[in-house]
Amino acid sequence: MMLSAGSSARDHCANERTFLSWLRLSLTLTLVGLAFVLKFDLNAIDEPSHEERTLALPLGYTFIALAILSVGVGLANYLRLLSLLVRKAAIVQPNKWITGVAFGIGTVIASVSIFLMATHFETGT
Amino acid sequence: MPNESTIKKLPNELVTEVALYLSAADLLSLGSTCRAMRAFVRDADLWTVKIKRDFGCEGLEFQWEQSDDGAYSSRERQRKYMKLEEGEWMSSCAEWDCAWLNEGNGHYWRIEHNPRSPFGRSLNLGHRWVFWLHAHTRLRIPPGRYEVSFGLQVVQPNPMLRFVSFKIQEKPPVSETLDGEAQMYADEMIRFPMAEVQSTYLRALSTPDFREVTWQSTFLVRGSSEKGKEWGEVEVEIKDTSDMPKTGVNLDYVKFKRVHVDEDTIDPVAEGVNERPIIRDYPRRRRRGDRTPEEPGLKSLFTGFFSRIGHARCCAIKTVEIAMIHRDTEDLRTMTQPLLSTEQLVEIRARQRTFENAYVRTALGEFSFALVILRIFSKEFYTIGALYTFSGFIVLTAALFRRGRSNREFFGPEQAKHFRTSGDVVLMLSALYGCLYIGNAFRPDLETVECHLWTVSVSVLSRKALPLHAQNTIPGLGMHQYSFTYLCNMCFGLAYMNCRNPGAYMYMCCQVPSSYRICRELISIIPHEGVNMVH
């Protein structure tokens, strides 16, 4: 419990929304990862090729690990910003590790999709 | 800022006067508070005046390092002051006048390379036998009370080593009018009291390492004038002409370290020499350009970097502490927020909600959607997934950029705080997204490309046109952004209509109420602004 002065209620709500956003990302990551692991194929509609099958399992586990990481990071970020807000610190922003993790997750997704694109164009032609 | 710092309101001369009373560390802390103070502390003149005031003219000529060329730069002056303030004067025995140095067949004192010495060289006897030992030096130091230590090494415990005397005395001031014999006579007459140390306990140094030995004697340097600003010249002499062999001793340096004691509390009887010397470990001294061999360069670079960061942090903490000291005790309870008032806090939080939260949420949402596309849609949509991820990157980068700019704005020194509207970033984002859409149209469908182009151009134009109204009124800003969004949406709708897409008509219908509202509000603003312009 704390005194609601200035914009503190809004700040805390915004912080919470960000946490929920991290949670959503992790849910999606888990979903995709589990789908990869369980069905052993990368795509739900098209017929999977051989190399896609071999790739699916590690990829799925990577995604699940990323999901756990993103929940952890979201939680850490939330708690950190919360304590900063309570202390009324001047600069309340995620530190460079959290931003780095966000960038890292983005990089993994981008590289996977680019890789899939490449295989798709190879098999398609 | 409503709480404009009061120190900036003071006249510059007054601040300088106050700063002359601060220590170097305090000044550096002051300099890390804000830009104006940093510029103030970085003034070479300030440090020059400070050196002159605290250490006299000789302080300016003092050279404490080989590389110190007396350059007139703020940094050099500052380092010089800190060195002077540290109050450590060392003299390497390798540079002393020494009898029987390197004479004959090497059975005498000699200067050897010594990596552990702060000077790199020490006066070395090795294991040879020397009976006549006489070395002496002079050094000039500011007036004050000093603790005298010697850097010594007993290479080989020598049972016969029992008497090496160190004599320290201050040379009296020599008037320039005296010459020759008269001067020598004056020397004899007004000799300051000397401290003499007998190294009876050198045998206590049984380890073969170098040790710093302090006989507990404080030595008062009076200086050579009444003002106390002229430095005194101190003579240090090591002499032993007894017929005992003095083998196994290496001499490294003599160190004068200023001690701060209250002159009244000193018991004149107790002053002098202790029976037992204090033996310390050798000081580990890191000098510029001088690396200990066991440390790789990169590591030392990193440690230097981190120690500098730690120093900056200490400065910040110290600044806050100073602020706390200078406040009343009443204020101390509310010191949890020493920097910002409530309004400022509200403002910066509003900024941070946008840059830290909203932007990040958008980016994360785009990542999620990219994943969904990756999994659920068919292979043709992989490109779109990649593009979504890429756009997430763009949003994150934009957040970082905006955050940095906003922080600079907020904590910067400008007198009037202007909020820089997000025009260019939004422009950039829309342009980039437009490029993405164009790239997205991987099928050479002319109509799709055309509609995307149209969207982008109209949104850019609308953005350009909007600052005409409500440029710098903060309430107008919200309007601003709303109208921008709605216009963009309208453009999308129109673009899809252009594609003869049936969904576009529905989209447009949804947009009509909001666009109606926005148009009405825009119309209500324009006459208002017009009136303002007339006045």
pLDDT given at position B352 = 76
| Rounded Cα distance, B31 and B143, in Å | 29
B357·A15 Cβ contact <8 A? yes
pLDDT in tens, A27-47: 888 888 887 777 655 554 555
Whether B381 and B277 map to the same domain: the answer is no
Chain B residue at shortest CA distance from A108: B389
The helix or strand, by DSSP H or E, that contains position B237, with its residue range, turns out to be strand B232-240
Last-in-domain residue among B40, B63, B86: B86
Whether B381 and B485 map to the same domain: the answer is yes
Whether B228 and B376 map to the same domain: the answer is no
Q: Tell me how many domains chain B contains.
A: 4
Question: Which distant-in-sequence residues (6+ apart) come within 8 Å of B58 by Cβ?
Answer: B140, B142, B230, B231
pLDDT in tens, B427-479: 666 666 666 555 554 443 444 444 555 555 555 444 444 443 333 333 444 44
DSSP labels, B36-54: HHHHHHT-HHHHHHHHHHH
* Residue A94 touches chain B, beta carbons under 8 Å: yes
**DSSP-assigned letter for residue B257:** E
| Rounded Cα distance, B47 and B60, in Å | 10
DSSP labels, B60-117: HH---STT-----SHHHHHHHHHHHHHTEEEEEGGGSEETTBS-TTS-SBEEEE-TTS
- The count of CB pairs under 8 A between chains A and B is 125
Of all residues in chain A, what percent are helix, strand and coil, respectively (each to 5)?
A: 80, 0, 20
Of B64, B61, B62, B66, give the one whose Cα is nearest residue B290. Answer: B66
Domain extent, residue B75, equals: 6-86
ipTM above 0.85, yes or no: no
B309: phi then psi, degrees, rounded to nearest 5: -60, -45
Residues of chain A whose pLDDT is less than 50? 44, 125
Question: Which distant-in-sequence residues (6+ apart) come within 8 Å of B342 by Cβ?
Answer: A5, A6
pLDDT given at position B469 = 37
Question: Which distant-in-sequence residues (6+ apart) come within 8 Å of B391 by Cβ?
Answer: B366, B432, B433, B436
pLDDT given at position A42 = 53
CB B98 within 8 A of CB B134: yes
pLDDT given at position B21 = 80
Assign residue B276 the CATH number of its domain: 2.60.120.260
Residues of chain B whose pLDDT is less than 70? 1-8, 58-72, 98-110, 124-133, 154-167, 169-211, 213-230, 239-249, 261-342, 375-384, 387, 407-535
Taking the CA of residue B258 as centre, how many other CA atoms within 13 Å lie in the half-sphere pointing to its CB? 15
Whether B148 and B227 map to the same domain: the answer is yes
Whether B124 and B82 map to the same domain: the answer is no
> Is there a domain that residue B448 lies in?
yes
Ramachandran region, residue A88 (left: φ > 0; alpha: ψ -120 to 50; beta: rest):
left
pLDDT given at position A93 = 67
Whether B209 and B317 map to the same domain: the answer is no
* Residue A6 touches chain B, beta carbons under 8 Å: yes
B367·A117 Cβ contact <8 A? no
Q: Which of B350, B365, B386 sits opposite A114 (nearest CB)?
A: B386
pLDDT given at position B189 = 43
- Which structure tokens are listed for B147? 């603790």
Residues of chain B neighbouring A92 (CB-CB closer than 8 A): 349, 352, 356
Whether B99 and B193 map to the same domain: the answer is yes
pLDDT given at position B338 = 40
Residues of chain A neighbouring B343 (CB-CB closer than 8 A): 6
pLDDT given at position B17 = 79
CB B323 within 8 A of CB B336: no
Assign residue B80 the CATH number of its domain: 1.20.1280
> Is there a domain that residue B241 lies in?
yes
> Is there a domain that residue B289 lies in?
no
Q: Which of B343, B355, B374 sits opposite A112 (nearest CB)?
A: B374
